[in-house]
């Protein structure tokens, strides 16, 4: 099976490429990249006016399997990814049961390989049941293909447990992904503590709850030499702590979520549960600091933290709503609209943050279109104008803070292992 992608603007930071090229894909792999390829192919995709990039990777999603299929499952979640132009997702372990044994890791990988529309990486839990008390068998899970380890949704409160976890995974060269918010300082709050929370009379969560947790884990990364990746960095203090640690050569990396890069706590003024998320949406000074961090390389990757909930779970009062919302079908578009078109990031930077770096961070065989690599490809239409309408989403979690947003830019097609799984927003059978 040969597919020839003609005339696209190929943007691939792994090869320092940004030029109009043809890409020939054969039997699931990138075969040739050249100015003009005239070889006969089974399918010719005209990418004139479009951008061809290595498949986008989202290292922070919640696919909700096993056990929480009313919110999402591997089929609906990976369809949403394909629709959004994401070729690979990593799923967090806060499921029911928690992904804390090698059997569950294997089970998800098997089901994802059979039923999923995109590639799925599995993140195992650091502690049993994500309870923060007892380490899981991370070595066994790593042998079964776990990408990394995280108690996402919870801060590993006990520093001794965290230190032992870092020493344990350092021995087999895996990373810990940390949801860093001091729980004692945040459990009574519902939004970012600041001018807006004071005005609304809603108990706030101080941003230092994040800074303190990140500082501790930067110290543990430095002491152990283990790669620690900070999930969804949202505070300016955390950005600065990570920047300074990186300067000292500490093996620390981090990601920022699309909503933290584009929205502020003013959204909570509507009491919409679509603004409830952890860490909370913060004030504009934090958003600006995150953007600076993206530009100077402090922040390595952009993620969604796609966290769908069943509609009735979000259809409650602000205080009682669970944290999180869906993101896979809006991330590319919102990044293009708010960061690329508004000159915060260049296009190669967008591809780097959403494909090249995420692959490098976790040693994934992805994030590049070098000949011989797997043909996972995201094709972008930078100028496509459209309005977010969650009724058209593939995800089960329809709540999004971007509902009704007018976007410029969208994924035009998604290819997995040489086969298109989405064209023009419509997910096709694999
Ligand atoms: Zn989290």
> What spacing in Å lies between the alpha carbon of 28 and ligand 1's midpoint?
34
Q: Could you tell me the pLDDT band of residue 276, with boundaries at 50, 70 and 90?
A: very high
- Residue range 306-330, pLDDT digits in tens: 999 988 888 898 888 899 999 999 9
> What spacing in Å lies between the alpha carbon of 158 and ligand 1's midpoint?
17
- Residue range 204-226, pLDDT digits in tens: 999 999 999 999 999 999 999 99
> What spacing in Å lies between the alpha carbon of 62 and ligand 1's midpoint?
10
The torsion angles phi and psi of 409, rounded to 5 degrees, stand at 115, 145
> What spacing in Å lies between the alpha carbon of 210 and ligand 1's midpoint?
11
- What pLDDT shows up at residue 405? 97
> What spacing in Å lies between the alpha carbon of 132 and ligand 1's midpoint?
15
> What letter would DSSP give residue 202?
P
Mean pLDDT over 169-188 rounds to 95
Q: Residue 8 has which token pair?
A: 């696209």
> What spacing in Å lies between the alpha carbon of 60 and ligand 1's midpoint?
8
- What pLDDT shows up at residue 310? 87
Number of H helices, E strands in the chain: 14, 19
> What spacing in Å lies between the alpha carbon of 33 and ligand 1's midpoint?
39
> What letter would DSSP give residue 157?
-
CA distance 303 to 274: 17
CA distance 237 to 211: 5
CA distance 98 to 114: 21
Q: Is the pTM of this model over 0.95?
A: yes
What secondary structure, in 3-state letters, does 212-250 show? HHHHHHHHHHHHHCCCEEECCCCCHHHHHHHHHHHHCCC
Mean pLDDT over 274-290 rounds to 96
> What spacing in Å lies between the alpha carbon of 358 and ligand 1's midpoint?
17
- Residue range 327-337, pLDDT digits in tens: 999 999 999 99
> What percent of the chain clears pLDDT 70, i.e. is strictly above it?
100
> What spacing in Å lies between the alpha carbon of 397 and ligand 1's midpoint?
17
> What spacing in Å lies between the alpha carbon of 155 and ligand 1's midpoint?
9
Contact assessment for residue 289 and residue 243, using Cβ atoms and an 8 Å cutoff:
no
Mean pLDDT over 409-417 rounds to 98
State yes or no: pLDDT of 36 exceeds 70.
Answer: yes
- What pLDDT shows up at residue 430? 63
> What spacing in Å lies between the alpha carbon of 307 and ligand 1's midpoint?
9
Mean pLDDT over 196-207 rounds to 96
Mean pLDDT over 284-306 rounds to 98
- What pLDDT shows up at residue 88? 98
The 3-state DSSP class for residue 184 equals helix
What structural domains does the chain harbor?
Answer: 2-52+374-394+405-427 (2.30.40.10), 56-361 (3.20.20.140)
Task: List active site positions.
Answer: 305
State yes or no: pLDDT of 412 exceeds 90.
Answer: yes
- What pLDDT shows up at residue 187? 84
State yes or no: pLDDT of 66 exceeds 70.
Answer: yes
Q: Could you tell me the pLDDT band of residue 70, with boundaries at 50, 70 and 90?
A: confident
Q: Could you tell me the pLDDT band of residue 230, with boundaries at 50, 70 and 90?
A: very high
283 Cβ partners below 8 Å, 6+ apart? 192, 194, 195, 196, 264, 265
> What spacing in Å lies between the alpha carbon of 40 and ligand 1's midpoint?
47
- Residue range 75-122, pLDDT digits in tens: 999 999 999 999 999 999 999 999 999 999 999 999 999 999 999 999
> What spacing in Å lies between the alpha carbon of 414 and ligand 1's midpoint?
27
Arithmetic mean of pLDDT over the chain: 96
Mean pLDDT over 189-217 rounds to 97
- Residue range 338-375, pLDDT digits in tens: 999 999 999 999 999 999 999 999 999 999 999 999 99
> What spacing in Å lies between the alpha carbon of 356 and ligand 1's midpoint?
22
> What letter would DSSP give residue 296?
T
């Amino acid at each position: 099976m040969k597919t020839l992608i003609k005339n696209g603007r190929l943007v691939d930071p792994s090869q320092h490429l940004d030029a109009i090229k043809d890409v020939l894909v054969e039997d699931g792999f990138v075969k040739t990249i050249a100015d003009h390829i005239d070889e006969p192919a089974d399918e010719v995709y005209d990418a004139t006016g479009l951008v061809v990039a290595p498949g986008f990777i989202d290292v922070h999603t919640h696919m909700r399997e096993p056990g929480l299929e009313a919110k999402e499952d591997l089929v609906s979640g990976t369809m949403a990814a394909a629709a959004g132009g994401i070729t690979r997702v990593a799923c967090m372990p806060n499921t029911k049961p928690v992904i804390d044994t090698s059997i569950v890791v294997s089970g998800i990988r098997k089901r994802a390989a059979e039923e999923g529309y995109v590639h799925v990486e599995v993140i195992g839990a650091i502690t049993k049941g994500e309870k923060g008390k007892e380490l899981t068998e991370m070595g066994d899970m790593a042998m079964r293909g776990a990408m990394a380890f995280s108690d996402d949704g919870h801060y590993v409160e006990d520093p001794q447990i965290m230190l032992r976890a870092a020493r344990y995974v350092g021995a087999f060269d895996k990373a810990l992904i940390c949801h860093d918010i001091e729980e004692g300082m945040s459990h009574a709050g519902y939004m970012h503590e600041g001018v807006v929370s004071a005005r609304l009379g809603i108990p706030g969560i101080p941003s230092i709850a994040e800074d303190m947790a990140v500082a501790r884990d930067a110290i543990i990364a430095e002491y152990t030499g283990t790669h620690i990746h900070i999930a969804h960095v949202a505070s300016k203090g955390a950005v600065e702590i990570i920047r300074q640690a990186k300067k000292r050569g500490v093996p620390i990396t981090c990601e920022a979520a699309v909503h933290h890069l584009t929205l502020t706590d003013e959204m909570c003024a509507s009491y919409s549960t679509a603004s409830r998320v952890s860490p909370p949406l913060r004030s504009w000074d934090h958003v600006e600091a995150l953007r600076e961090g993206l530009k100077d390389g402090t922040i390595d990757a952009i993620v969604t933290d796609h966290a769908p909930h069943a509609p009735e779970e979000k259809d409650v009062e602000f205080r009682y709503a669970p944290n999180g919302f869906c993101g896979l079908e809006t991330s590319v578009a919102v990044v293009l609209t708010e960061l690329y078109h508004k000159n915060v990031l260049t296009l190669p930077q967008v591809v780097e943050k959403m494909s090249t770096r995420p692959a490098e961070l976790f040693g994934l065989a992805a994030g590049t279109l070098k000949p011989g690599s797997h043909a996972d490809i995201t094709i972008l239409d930078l100028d496509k104008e459209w309005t977010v309408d969650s009724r058209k989403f593939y995800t089960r979690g329809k709540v999004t803070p971007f509902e009704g947003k007018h976007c410029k830019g969208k994924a035009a097609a998604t290819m997995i292992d040489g086969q298109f799984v989405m064209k023009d927003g419509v997910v096709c059978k694999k």
